[in-house]
Every structure is written in C-alpha cells, then in structure tokens.
Amino acid sequence: MWYWLFKYVLLGPMLWLLGRPKLEGAENIPMDGPAILASNHQAVLDSFFLPLRVTRRITFLAKSEYFTGTGLKGSFQRWFFSAVGQVPIDRTGADAAQDALNAGLRVLGSGKLLGIYPEGTRSPDGRLYKGKTGLARLALESGVPVIPVAMIDTAKVNPIGSRVWKPAKVTVRIGEPIDFSRYAGMGGNRFVERAVTDEVMYKLMRLSGQEYVDIYAATLKNPVPGAEPAQPAADATRVPDTRAG
C-alpha cells in the first residue's frame, strides 16, 4: 500500500514537477513475469524516478545501512524502505554475495521486477564504471531476461552531497531485453559471468551516452588507506568486452 501511496500521492507528484521525467522504450518492460532491470546509477533519486515511470512495481535490493540507522533520520529511513517493500542486503559480511543472490532469486521467483545497479554504487563523477558480476549470477541462476535502463540527468536533480533537490529534465530510457539463455548451465564460470556483465554494461553505455571507465567505482569512493590511488586501465574509456571466454 505504501509503495503506491508514495508513487501517486505522497512523493510522486513532487518528483513529476522537479524532473518532468520522460520515458523512452516502455514497450520493453514485460506486462507480467520476472525480469531484472539493470540500471546505471547517477543519484539516489534513480530509485524513485524509475518506479515513477514504470507501471509495474519494482523491488530493489537496498543496502542494510538504510535499515540500521539511529536517531530521527535512521528511524525514518528504516520505516520508509520497509514500507515500500525494499529488501535489505548486508554488503560487509563474508556471505554478503550469496545473501544478495538468494534475496534476488526470491524476488524473481515470485514473478516480480528486480531493480539492480551493476556498478554497485553511485558514479562519483557521472561516468559509467565497471559492472560487478553479481548481476550475471542472478541472470544465469534465474534464467530471466535482463533489461538495461539508462537514467539520464537524475544527478542534476540530486547531485551527490546535495541537501536540496533542483529542477531538471530527467529521461528514463529502457533498452531491449537481453536473453542470456545461450549461457544456460554455465553459472559459476567467471569468464562467462564477466562476459554477461560486460554485455550489459555495453548496452548501458550505448543507452546513456556515458563515458565508460574500466575500474570499479567503489575503488575511487573508498580507497584503501596507504594504498596508491586507483587508476583506470591504460585505455580507460574502452567499451566493455562482450566476448565470452
């Protein structure tokens, strides 16, 4: 109930006024059945503008920190994310990857749309970063199609570190579903998982028009103390290699 109240009454109207979100490729979202919506990640509001424009309900795997905060802000976040049906994921434990996989499979197994950000975190500078292979594991284990989604200019409404949202024109661009059935039974093969992930990232690069960087975004946002700063590969803007093997 809260999901639909926030979408149509409590939050949606304000987001319509702020972002005037344009939807492209709506026909690529299936009317029913499970699918993975793999999106680039520009701003916190990506998780709001995408559900605003997609008719079907979307369940995101949300970091557990949203459910464990303290004080007034923490209490509100915990209530909000629980009320709209998001699934908490602990990203720090030894079994974090398996727990996330199991949670995603439960969502897909119930015939729902699962929203996921392959980059693992928001882009620190607007570029598109290397995707993590958890996306591929979900796709190969579940056998459902992966639908690439480009969120465009959401960071203009909600810049990193900003406390006030700003008016800007947002576009939600939905790509054609990608069928990975040709890799059936090959889950767990790291070369196949990388090929699947890179193919999705290539589609996202084409849809979004972003520059691609062949390193993980988290290495820039959370550098290891005392370590040399992470550097892009020699050809930092190369397109993801979509070849298997």
- Residue 131: domain span: 2-221
Tell me the CATH number at 96.
Answer: 3.40.1130.10
Residue 49's Cα: distance from chain center in Å?
A: 12
Give me the pLDDT at residue 56, please. 94
CB atoms within 10 A of CB 15: 21
User: Does the pLDDT value for residue 219 go beyond 80?
Assistant: yes
Are 48 and 11 spatial neighbours (Cβ–Cβ below 8 Å)? yes
User: Does the pLDDT value for residue 4 go beyond 60?
Assistant: yes
Let me know if residue 240 belongs to a domain.
no
pTM attached to this predicted model: 0.85
Let me know if residue 141 belongs to a domain.
yes
Let me know if residue 245 belongs to a domain.
no
Kindly indicate the confidence band of residue 69, based on its pLDDT and cuts at 50, 70 and 90. Answer: confident
Let me know if residue 227 belongs to a domain.
no
Alpha-carbon dihedral of residues 187, 191, 193, 196, nearest 10 degrees? -120
